[in-house]
Amino acid sequence: MTPLPTDLLDLRSDTVTRPSGAMRAAIAAAEVGDDVLDGDPTTRALEARVAERLGMDAALFFPSGSMANLAAICVHTRPGTELLVDADAHIVHWEMGGAAALAGAQVRPVRGDTPVMTARDLARAARPRGRYEVEAGLVCLENTHNGAGGMVTPLAEMRALAEVARSLALPVHLDGARLWNAHVATGTPLADFAACADTVMVSFSKGLGAPVGAALVGSHEVIRRADMVRKRLGGGLRQSGVLAAAALHGLEHHLAGLASDHANARLLAEALDGVGGARVVPPDTNIVMLDLPTPCAAAIVSEARTAGVRVSAWSPTRIRAVTHRDASRGQIAAAAPRLAEVVARVVHAAG
């Protein structure tokens, strides 16, 4: 077996980052308490800070974004109702059918001919209220959109989506795992995005570089109910301050650095676009999707690994590479031509 290069660069996801020395120091220094019994002070501080940044009443710390999304779905829907969501949303494909299995809600994927569900698509998908139609309970949005290549839904479109939901008397949940990236890429205040939704999930374990954690943000009443759901799902954490300290550190120190991840994604995209007939989805943020002219993604993943770069196969004809704070400009600049060489070689052999 060919030995792997020692400088293997992992671009499979922005979740692969390891806590920095300063983040580990913040973890070590965290003031903690039992958050299930009478509260953890560092978790409270994180929740207050996130609620303030998003301009909402309250926030609740979760072990993962998937659990926070599920809690929001449980709070907003009733069994037998449906949630309207983009066809390629994380909630549809990557959360183990939690909405159906644990909230009893039907997921209805919605999409027209654009890469992400628009207000027009949503309005078209709405069913009339009647005796036999499934009743809708919730609209879920995702910004940035992972499956569409970290695409930003601009504020105007978010407002239009929210307006359609309001006209249907439906609450809106925003999966904002990477809302930080949308904010940094566009300059749109987080609170303006958040105002388009009733609840927002934000993640700390992606671009912000924390090892664990997400938050659900919303009104006092919604967060009170989400707290009960979190406990039911086994997400009541004890000395969670050691995790919240890392998240707080990421929020205070790593947010602005997302701009470098976005610039690095553009660098990578430029190196790959057109190679062997492959096409890049121009990255708005930190996710580079490469569409291949022939189904050979698995071979590219394997050959790229041998060449020192880890990427993932999103589908047989699509490769995903994600930039993050543990992949420096220099590393990306060195990896890009190696990856381009692999793509050209494998596509040629497969064609």
Tell me the CA end-to-end span of the chain in Å, nearest whole number.
26
Residue 217, φ and ψ in degrees, nearest 5: -125, 140
Stretch in the footprint of ligand PLP (CB under 6 A) among 50-58, 64-72, 219-227, 267-275: 64-72
Q: Which of 160, 164, 177, 297 binds ligand PLP (CB under 6 A)?
A: 177
Name residue, tokens 């006209």. 167
Q: Give the tokens for residue 312.
A: 């993932």
Residues contacting 243, CB < 8 A, separation 6+: 27, 43, 61, 63, 210, 211, 212, 213, 237
* Shortest Å, Cβ 351 to ligand PLP: 32
The one-letter amino acid code at 287 reads I
Stretch in the footprint of ligand PLP (CB under 6 A) among 22-30, 58-66, 122-130, 304-312: 58-66
Q: Does 175 bind ligand PLP (CB under 6 A)?
A: yes
Q: Does 197 bind ligand PLP (CB under 6 A)?
A: no
Alpha-carbon gap, residue 318 to 343, rounded angstroms: 11
Alpha-carbon gap, residue 230 to 236, rounded angstroms: 6
Q: What residues numbered 99-138 form the site for ligand PLP, per CB under 6 A?
A: none
Nearer to ligand PLP, 23 or 212 (CB): 212
Q: How many chain residues interact with ligand PLP (CB under 6 A)? A: 12
Q: Which of 17, 42, 43, 66 binds ligand PLP (CB under 6 A)?
A: 66
Residue 144, φ and ψ in degrees, nearest 5: -70, 165
Q: Which of 9, 40, 65, 342 binds ligand PLP (CB under 6 A)?
A: 65
Q: What residues numbered 77-96 form the site for ligand PLP, per CB under 6 A?
A: 90
Q: Give the tokens for residue 217.
A: 């943000």
Contact string (CB under 6 A) for ligand PLP, positions 134-173, x = contact: --------x---x---------------------------
Alpha-carbon gap, residue 92 to 107, rounded angstroms: 7
Residues lying near ligand PLP in the complex (CB under 6 A): 64-66, 69, 90, 142, 146, 175, 177, 203, 205, 214
